[in-house]
Amino acid sequence: MKLKDIEIFTVAPPAPGWGGRYWTFVKLTTDDGISGYGECYASTVGPKAQNAVIEDVFARHMAGESPENIELMFRRAYSAGFTQRPDPTVIGAFSGLEIACWDILGKARNRPVWALLGGMMNRRIRSYTYLYPGPQDDAAAFWTSPDMAAEAALRMVDLGFTAIKFDPAGPYTIRGGHMPAMSDISRSVAFCKAIREAVGDRADLLFGTHGQFSTGGAIRLGQALEPWSPLWYEEPVPPDDFAALAEVARGVRIPVATGERLTTKNEFALALRAGTAILQPALGRAGGIWEGKKIAALAETHNAQMAPHLYAGPVEWAANIHLSASIPNLLMAETIETGGAFHMALIRNTITWEDGFILPPETPGLGIDFDEALARAHPYAGDRLHLEMQEAPCDWRHGNRFQGGASGE
């Protein structure tokens, strides 16, 4: 069994577009006719350029190889061009291809992927969701309204969620870490207070920041949030500043979480040494399922937990689920609400979300039924990035806002 053919699907989810502007799926087929699907969560270049990278990584490091030789193929990609260092674009391309290999291997052996990773550890995977506006909400006002966020949190908790995430501090600029405006801190406190009052102790609060603050600014904000006891303080400083992360971890009495923008075990090891309590790998960027398993093992040695990140499509979600099912130090896994309507349609509803938990598939491979016709019916033809940061600086006078990952056009 050798890897032979590749096909790439660049898919634009319909409005409201939760999960990003587009998703990049890959289909690999072996010389004996077994196909597997993966998803690349890499967005540092436009989709045409990224697809060229994916094709190059496949042709250069994987074509003609057995899909079993994941370690060998990873080392080829990781070391390409005499680099031997994490590269989010190349490793992101490899990650989706690697996920497709596991799908092939599970189908070839008639077993779900989790069974090839050490077996079933978690038969029910606790899930969490970001708070999104509902059809009854003013979408523009939602992101800065503590009351709307509290109502959304209560809706999600009533569905069964025991953890919900929000990030009211905005904005996300290209300018690196900044000191939050006092209005940013006040709004963040108001969100925590309103949501805690709405859900009580029925759910954990997960506070996100997307790496936007200076060290001192992150500590100021984090200390202001402590009375509402969030379960985590996510990416409080820029993702590559591990010394700053360590200082925040020492200065704030909220567990620090990070990982959605990190790639390979090497960067996650640095995060653990900095005192990170919760790792959040996005398997379509971090190196794939096998690298995720190694990251989980590293976390075990630091008494840290795993909470795989998802702001992409349903194939990365499926990969996250199989990893989550197989590891002992799972905290929870991100979900787009209860699965996301278009997410679920793309995999023909082959993953089950039930009362706050995801049930790992029992069918072979990733256990999903990818709808190629639906994917082809929603192509992305633009040249923008999956997510984009603003160039304008903070607005100290009129306030800051961030529309929660809404792609917009």
pLDDT tens per residue, range 191-232: 999 999 999 999 999 999 999 999 999 999 999 999 999 999
Q: Nearest 10 degrees: CA dihedral of 52, 58, 60, 66?
A: 180
For the ranges 5-19, 165-179, 354-368, the lowest mean pLDDT is seen at 165-179
Collapsing DSSP to helix, strand or coil, 356 comes out as coil
At 34, the pLDDT band (50, 70, 90 cuts) reads very high
| Count of Cβ atoms closer than 10 Å to residue 15 Cβ | 11
Give the mean model confidence (pLDDT) for residues 169-181.
88
* pLDDT for the residue 310: 98
Identify the three-state secondary structure at position 97.
Answer: helix
Model confidence at 35: pLDDT above 90: yes
**pLDDT for residue 404:** 56
Confidence band, pLDDT 50/70/90 cuts, at residue 408:
very low
pLDDT of 399 over the 90 cut: no
Cα dist. 318→20, 37, 154, 210 in Å? 17, 10, 26, 24
* DSSP assignment letter at 65: S
Q: Which of 193 and 407 is assigned the larger pLDDT?
A: 193
- Structural contact between residues 340 and 18, judged by C-beta atoms closer than 8 angstroms: yes
pLDDT band at residue 172 under the 50/70/90 scheme: confident
Partner residues linked to 274 by β-bridges: none
Q: What is the pLDDT of residue 402?
A: 66
DSSP assignment letter at 154: H
Domain boundaries, the chain: 116-364
Over 90: is that where the pLDDT of 123 sits? Answer: yes
- Predicted confidence band of residue 397 (pLDDT cuts 50, 70, 90): confident
pLDDT at residue 249 is higher than 60: yes
Q: What percent of the chain clears pLDDT 70, i.e. is strictly above it?
A: 98
What mean pLDDT do residues 74-82 have?
Answer: 96
pLDDT, residue 392, reads 86
228-246 tens-digit pLDDT:
999 999 999 999 999 999 9
Task: Read off the pLDDT band of 388 (50, 70, 90).
Answer: confident
Altogether, the residues listed in the chain come to a count of 409
Least confident residue range of 22-36, 105-119, 275-289, 374-388? 374-388
DSSP state of 390: B
116-364: CATH topology: TIM Barrel (3.20.20)
Rounded to two decimals, the pTM is: 0.97
